[in-house]
Chains A and B, each alone.
Chain A
Amino acid sequence: MRGIRENEEGVSLVLEYVLFSLICVGFFMIIAMNSDAVFIQNPNNVVMEREMSDVGNMMSTMITDMYLILPDNGYIDTEYRIPQRAGREEYVIDADIAYSDQIIEVISPSSGKKVRVTIGGIATTMPINGTAFSSSTDHKISYDSRK
């Protein structure tokens, strides 16, 4: 008994074990609590930001291209394909505010994330309106000079 009390070699090992366990438990708790935000939410936000601005730029490009070739007396429509989800969320392309603000909004209704893309003043000469849901099957932009 006395031998064990005076022997100090084991104490450092036990202390090391306790310290190490505490640190591991602390580390594990921090990781477990933040894993969703760090590993899922942040990458998802980055991906959504990019995909939504990509889609917004696509709409802006297509509208500009169409504007360049609009017939004086006639009709043009074009189908386009967009991804069903940006990151993990569905989104809406909203062009209804284009006339007043010269922008198109890409909005995710579930998280409220919003990306705005300008359309450079086209809407003052050519009225633009409409909304498109990413989950619907057909997407189309059309223009009719006679309407």
Chain B
Amino acid sequence: MDSLRKDTKGQWIALSGLVISLIVIGLAALANQSMVAGYYSSNAVLEFPKENIRELNSHTRDNAMIIRCLSLELNSTSNNSVPVIYEQLFADYSSQIETLYAMHGETVDVSLVSLNTSSGTYNSSDIDIVFVNITYNDGDTYYVSQPEIIEVRK
């Protein structure tokens, strides 16, 4: 009993207690930094199909112009009138884009509503505005633009 009372060799144990507490502080600081903060705000950006909708829209706009050029060109060698060729090409475009979006689990619908000309004759300078209906649906987000008004004369 006496030897136990006079024994003062516990320094290492006390010191190890200090070391362990310091390690615990460090670990806690690390664990706090890697917490899940910012999950919902980041996830919302990733899940919201902003780029997909924007791309559908802007590509349809580009296409309306490409198709206009092509249909005016084809009109010189074809018996069909410009609106007929335009409608055929546009239907071709919408079926392709619908398939490409469907591959990613998104339903889109792009359909031509009307071609508008200022004079009623469909020659190269007259088709100015095209009306297109665009819908997009990925289960969470539903987007409708009816009609999207596209200026095709540049």
Let me know if B141 and A73 touch, CB within 8 A. no
Chain A residues within an 8 Å CB radius of B143 = 69, 71, 74-76
Let me know if B38 and A54 touch, CB within 8 A. yes
Contacting residue for A75 out of B37, B43, B144, B147, CB 8 A: B144
| A 61-83 binary contact with B (CB < 8 Å = 1; else 0) | 11001101101111111111011
| A 34-77 binary contact with B (CB < 8 Å = 1; else 0) | 00000000000000001000110110011001101101111111
The CA of A55 and the CA of B40, in the complex, are separated in Å by 6
Let me know if B45 and A61 touch, CB within 8 A. yes
Let me know if A76 and B142 touch, CB within 8 A. yes
Let me know if A78 and B140 touch, CB within 8 A. yes
The CA of A68 and the CA of B53, in the complex, are separated in Å by 10
Q: Does B87 contact A (CB under 8 A)?
A: no
Q: Is the interface of B mostly helix, strand, loop or mixed?
A: mixed
Let me know if A79 and B148 touch, CB within 8 A. no
Contacting residue for A69 out of B57, B140, B146, B147, CB 8 A: B57
Chain A residues within an 8 Å CB radius of B53 = 69
Contacting residue for B40 out of A54, A74, A75, CB 8 A: A54
Q: Does B41 contact A (CB under 8 A)?
A: yes
Extra contacts besides A57-B38, A71-B148, A77-B142 (9): CB < 8 Å: A58-B41, A62-B48, A74-B144, A75-B142, A75-B144, A76-B142, A77-B141, A78-B142, A80-B44
